[in-house]
Amino acid sequence: MYHLAVCFAVALLCTGCRAGSVNRHLKLLPELDNSIESNGFPTKHSAARSFLSLSKRPRASQAHVAGSVLALTCEALGAPAPRVRWLKNAKPVYEHDSESTEQIDSNPSSLARVSSTLLVTRTEDTDEYTCIASSGKKVARASTLVYSTGTAPDMTERSKLLPFAPHILVSYKAFVDTIGNNVILPCRAKGHPRPHMTWRDNNGTVVKKDNRMKVLKSGELVISSLRWSDMGEWTCHATNTFGTQTASTFLYPALAG
């Protein structure tokens, strides 16, 4: 896939602030962290192999209080960068798919930890929800049984339009790809009114459209020709009249090899 050893070697030789940040974010990529040898670098074999695991699963069962919103979260770690979709009683949740990374193509050289959240607004007795992560030919899944604790009020079309603060549904916790590649960092949010999406770069500066970067209306940040100087924490902001939610992605540009 690519050789990460040089990337981490240089990172650990950077300023104390950045080195500390790299070490902290290594914990988001346990598959790499577990393969680090005594010299402090990932092995070439472990950096190149493809893998997929669920790093966070929804609880096996949970209650849904009638009239409230229940958030189900699933996190997947994999190479190439995983995609996550949801099923309700074995049927696709199309509303979530329209807001998910399912529309984003992952570079074969990428590695990521992705977080995906499904908002449950209504439960009929008991429903089974399943998150399905896929990376290349690998698939991992986890299910949860959601049971209602009362009678839910009738949800008219008008009531579905009631205002609510933004909730970020899909984002990367950490992302690795090869220098020179074009990358997409997802940040899909739901809210009413529709959230306004902005990003801040690894220096805390608001990202504005230029010849290398642009923020799509759906929230994704597109970065053309990834550079070593792009390494760091990038933060997505979803804002409407009723609030703001943020999600951060630590971006590692890796040397090809």
Nearest Cα to Cα of residue 84 among 52, 132, 144: 132
Residue 67 reports pLDDT greater than 70: yes
> What is the reported pLDDT for 1?
42
Residue 231 to residue 174: CA distance in whole angstroms: 11
Q: What is the DSSP letter of 228?
A: G
Q: What is the pLDDT of residue 222?
A: 97
Spell out the domains of the chain, with CATH numbers in brackets: 54-148 (2.60.40.10)
73: helix, coil or strand?
Answer: strand
- What tokens does 130 get? 């399943």
- What's the rounded mean pLDDT across residues 238-255? 97
Whether 38 shows a pLDDT value over 50: the answer reads no
Q: What is the pLDDT of residue 183?
A: 97
Average pLDDT, the chain: 82
Percent of the chain with pLDDT over 70: 72
The answer to whether residues 198 and 209 touch, using CB atoms and an 8 Å cutoff, is: no
pLDDT in tens, 3-12: 443 344 334 3
Express each pLDDT in 99-114 by its tens digit.
544 445 568 889 999 9
| Model pTM score | 0.80
Q: How confident is the model at residue 85 (pLDDT cuts 50, 70, 90)?
A: very high
The whole-number average pLDDT for the span 153-182 is 83
pLDDT above 60 for 126: yes
